[in-house]
Structure 1
């Protein structure tokens, strides 16, 4: 959507089944568009295999040590978080396949999305192990713990909540991957994560366009779903071991924080769909729109305070490093 249409008031609530059926044609159109612009790529082409060597264990290789890693400390943290997030793909597939179904256009998209996302964990793990970027034992233990917990969406209210969530989450993942690459200190890593980020952006466009169509069909319900998702947003990896500490480090390091979340994730989707400009809403939709606007203003204020703390922390860190030099 590129304009802010005046929607009819959606006084009759749509069921999930009705919405899935009504949006089927939109999904088919978006799949065809996606397949035209998505480029095939091979994970193995982004891994510097010549850097690899055996680890300790049955093959009597060299144990891992942090000095072997080419990437920066902040990138090491982000890479583990991002890979563990991608690793939980079976749970994500179960969530969306259960909600959207496995038949027709919806099923085609569910399986295509899963196949494309699978490449991300493949190439990231191959890169991290081949270049010895992270501790392989810790990584595997984290993977086992995270996947043993599985994933349950925060947005189980309706299919509209799930569509709204992934529209923002795919963009958030793209930003996190891209920034991790920029901060990695390794051009090979940067190139690999840029390739992944391109996929995530295409997935975001798919869900964003679907969300726009949902606003046309059920404006009040969609507005309430967007309000709920934005206010309660959490990244899908929030349940992994040590996530809070890792997220704090990534925030200070500029990988993903409140300012990025507000400016580069929430605002672009809301602006593109002109969510805060939609007219013709009923009482529930109008209330949700007003609450969304107030929340975004408050989040911007929080981001300003975060930036002030971030600068103070970075200044202290720089001063300490200067004294040690």
Structure 2
């Protein structure tokens, strides 16, 4: 990528407005690449409509019971978390549209991303209700509570912090969907979540490439943003009802935990960006680079301890089940 010489200036000049302008061409390039590789797909084709029947209530159908679900217990937990996360799309759209704007290539991407993400919520809800995978009453009550609270970014409302966050978050979502599908016990669910995960991976590539361009343009500021995001990372659904308990069960169940977060989310993005190999940094960039290295080493150690505790717990549970 070539940066216009006039845009190379002191770090104090890198306001969000200047960065948005400087990266507009990169956004346009990435948008065009995305549109070429993204494949159209129809949510209704991934839903087993013939399995559907009326619920109790005004339609006089059958009430939901856990044994009606084809998915595993961990699958149900993860599916609810994943769908409630997708449900807050209006808040996410507001966040990125406020930061990136609604004009030019930035605006086109914001609306395209929102449209693609909306498809994920549609197909997941249709699948869950048609297949009776989860309690529909509980799901709707959780949705109302979660969306009524809305979503506010942890990332200081800085453009660079937001780009860094979504680069990691999109990959985290892809991994969570993919693992949920594998552990669901239902091939239909697995196929649906694999389709969603493909979209999430394309979104990650868009933001990762944009972050790479930002690192070339403003390395110190970009590294500071990356370090802040990595060391304080939380999934966007952290405010949903019962999230901590669900997250703990997903961690033990192998959907998403410290080892997965370190190995399959943070490391691939950081390695691709070569953040620990960047030279010519100023004091702030060097400090952020050092923080990243120390944090990743500590996280790896924490993940190892978690793995050991998880294996011991699963062994005890298996032994109890065999008695």
Runs of 4+ in 1 over 6 A off after TM superposition: none
Counterpart position of 1:317: 317
- TM-score, normalization by structure 1: 0.96
Counterpart position of 1:188: 188
1:250 aligns with 2:250: yes
Cα RMSD after superposing both structures: 1.1
Separation (CA, whole Å) in 2 of partners of 1:32 and 1:316: 52
Conservation of the 8 A alpha-carbon contact between 1:71 and 1:186: yes
Separation (CA, whole Å) in 2 of partners of 1:160 and 1:30: 17
User: Where in structure 1 are there 5+ consecutive unaligned residues?
Assistant: 2-7
Offset at residue 316 of structure 1 (A): 1.0
1:264 aligns with 2:230: no
Aligned pair in 2 of structure 1 residues 218, 10: CA closer, same or farther (>3 Å)? farther
Counterpart position of 2:208: 208
Separation (CA, whole Å) in 1 of partners of 2:197 and 2:129: 20
Conservation of the 8 A alpha-carbon contact between 1:66 and 1:134: yes
Tell me the alpha carbon deviations over residues 265-310 of structure 1, each in whole angstroms, 9 at most, x when there is no partner: 0000000010111101001100100011000000000000000110
Separation (CA, whole Å) in 2 of partners of 1:238 and 1:265: 17
Within a 5 Å distance, the mapping from 1:1-325 to structure 2 comes to 11-323=11-323
Separation (CA, whole Å) in 2 of partners of 1:192 and 1:11: 45
Tell me the alpha carbon deviations over residues 210-251 of structure 1, each in whole angstroms, 9 at most, x when there is no partner: 000000110000000000000000000000000000000000
Tell me the alpha carbon deviations over residues 141-174 of structure 1, each in whole angstroms, 9 at most, x when there is no partner: 0000000000000002410000000000000000
Separation (CA, whole Å) in 2 of partners of 1:169 and 1:136: 27
Separation (CA, whole Å) in 1 of partners of 2:313 and 2:224: 37
User: Where in structure 2 are there 5+ consecutive unaligned residues?
Assistant: 2-7
Tell me the alpha carbon deviations over residues 105-137 of structure 1, each in whole angstroms, 9 at most, x when there is no partner: 000000000000000000000000000000000
Offset at residue 320 of structure 1 (A): 1.1
Conservation of the 8 A alpha-carbon contact between 1:70 and 1:185: yes
Counterpart position of 1:5: none
The structure, 1 or 2, with the larger RCO (C-alpha pairs under 8 Å, 6+ apart) is 1
Aligned pair in 2 of structure 1 residues 125, 270: CA closer, same or farther (>3 Å)? same
Separation (CA, whole Å) in 1 of partners of 2:13 and 2:52: 57
Conservation of the 8 A alpha-carbon contact between 1:177 and 1:194: yes
